[in-house]
Amino acid sequence: MPHRKNMNLDYTKKNDITIPRLPLEVQLDITYRCNNQCRHCWISLPAGHEKKHEELSLEEIVRIVAEARSLGARSWALSGGEPMVRPDFEEIFDIVTGKAISYSLNTNGTLVTPAIARLLKRKGYKMVALYGATAAVHDHITRNPGSFEAAIRGMRYLDEAGAGFTVQVVPLKDNFHQFQAMTELAESLSSRWRIGASWLYLGADGDPARNLEIMRQRLDPASVVQLDPIHPAVEAMSPCSRNLFEACIDRRRNIHIDPYGDASFCSFATDPALRYSLRSGTVRQAWEEFIPSLKQAVIGDEEFDNGCGACEVRNNCRWCPVYARLEHGRHTAKIDYLCRVAEQNAIYGNYYADNHIRHFQIAGITVKVESEEPMGDETFSRALRPFMTKEPGDDIVHLRHHFQIPPFDPDSLGERVYRNIPWEIYESESFWHYLGLPPDGDNRNPYQMTVFDRHHSSADIFNSNRAMFREGDLHSLAMFPSDQVWLARLLAHRDACYLHGSGIVLDDCGLLFLGHSGAGKSTITKMLMNDGTVLCDDRVIMRRWPEGFKIHGTWSHGEIPLVSPLGAPLKGIFLLEQAKKNALVPVTKPAEKMGILAAVVVRPLLTRQWWESVLDLISRAVGETPLFRLRFDLSGGVKPLLETFLQEAAQ
């Protein structure tokens, strides 16, 4: 099955928040009116429609924006219809985004002027819809002759003004034959593009003729899955609660406001009973009282219990109670079209698991690597392949590869804690942002951006070099110069650290040989490699387990390409010193032992909290493990010394 070329990127993961319920994003639909009358769009109303006079006034919008800001809202999403239909759009845009941390804007681009393009230079996420690769197809979809030319012109204005934007390719039955050409056109218009909604919901007005046209424009289920699959292993849903909106409300941190001032938790919740009028109430009342009360607003009935609530492929389905109401007028009804999509997605799930997910084991940690691009036997280098496993453990770290860098503002990433080309690293309350910078150090145009959670156990990796991934032979799971950059921080949360050393397993015992470059790590490894198992000759992980310290192999080898994912109990630590005579000299002073081990800790990003954790770890290690200065020559006579040591240690 063809893989999906692009993803709808949303790298700012939203944490579940219950108390206090502070909305971080307000979705404000400025108008339902649109200068297109698209064959798929149910929300657009004709310019002369009677309800256009009921839209919020500028004064009402100003009040609502102020109330939302008082609750902590600093992120906004502006859409419609077409927002720019309103003659006061520029003023509304300035009011809403003037104090925003971030915003997004949906437009068809046809009303963009040079003046508006200059206004949209304000940093934010602008999406411009594309309905065809040619005027004939695009204008057929929009039912608006000249709309293709106007949209292209609007995008040219945005480009000339330096207002970065994303082209949103909208797939429909009548334009799907041009899909590849549409993506190529999108790439020529902007450095960023995405796929719009891959399936169409029915109209809130229930107009039979319009709904028939919407259903006619729906793609076949296999094409929906090809464009936008659900990955059950990744996006597994919670078991369906009979309180149909409870889970959705609990995990959302935004509020939707329609053009008439009605608010709810979702733009698709069109039932009047699920919407709260801000003309007669406040944003605080809507957010803190009304929306939480909707958790019990719709309870699953017998239809739900015997249908979607009991479905075995629920994790493969896009079904939602608000979609069900749009389709059948009942929140509990199943949607046959989505049932067929779910069946196709279940088939795709097996393909995806085999071709887009790989697991690696290191130091007892499973690293789950997921990618938009398929992975094969040659994707990762030979050094990484021994660490690949088909049996993930309980401790799983998740890396997700994407191949477009989403819009962002470096000034909003948090505190910059590191800068040394090619890296710039930022820390915020919830995330770490790693920017891979070009040689000129331009942090607004990085070639890579990685967003880790607080403990480096989950990451979205955005890389502009798709070709590099396809070429394979990658030496890093994260496409970093070295995985040590992020693993070193992860390990600190597992009572572990990287050491610049060589690890050998002899008689099921782990021996750790320390030293910087040239100290003889590779030399000692060559002497012992035929008598035991080489973990790695240059980087070893030391980890404290309940039963004691172990050393583990890594793929960051030096001169000797032998590596192993195995681990073994740490029985001895040896500081290498080349000499004319072989000797084991015990180091007994705690401060000296600490200094020896601290000197070889790999520390790609040194922060106080991390370093304190590592110092505590190595102080325990030297307290529990004997440490020696190992003086050795090239005769191989060091072997009997180590054998004697192991025999004595076993007694």
Quick: pLDDT tens for 176-195: 999 999 999 999 999 889 99
Name the DSSP class of 288: I
**CA quadruple 90, 93, 94, 95: dihedral positive or negative?**
positive
SS3 255: strand
pLDDT in tens, 478-488: 999 999 999 99
**Cβ-based burial of 285 (10 A; exposed 0-12, middle 13-18, buried ≥19):** middle
Question: How many Å apart are CA 285 and CA 279, to the nearest integer?
Answer: 12
| Domains of the chain with bracketed CATH | 25-228+257-279 (3.20.20.70), 358-481 (no CATH), 491-650 (3.40.50)
pLDDT of residue 651: 73
Do residues 204 and 270 lie in contact, with contact meaning Cβ atoms separated by under 8 Å?
A: yes
Burial class of residue 580, CB neighbours in 10 A (0-12, 13-18, 19+) = exposed
Contact of 108 with 57, CB cutoff 8 Å = no
Reading the block at residue 246, the tokens are 């409870």
Measure the CA–CA gap between 140 and 143, rounded to whole angstroms: 5
Cβ atoms of 83 and 30 closer than 8 Å: yes
H helical segments located in 424-494 = 466-471, 484-492
Number of other CB atoms surrounding residue 113 within 10 Å: 13
In the DSSP assignment, the letter for residue 40 is S
Tokens found for residue 86: 């309103």
Ranges of the chain with pLDDT below 70: 1-24, 39-53, 231-241
Give dist(CA 125, CA 27) in Å, integer. 13
C-alpha torsion sign, points 315, 320, 326, 331: positive
Beta bridge partners of 63: none
The span from the CA of 568 to the CA of 575, in Å, is 19
Report the residue count for the chain: 651
Return the pLDDT at 252.
80
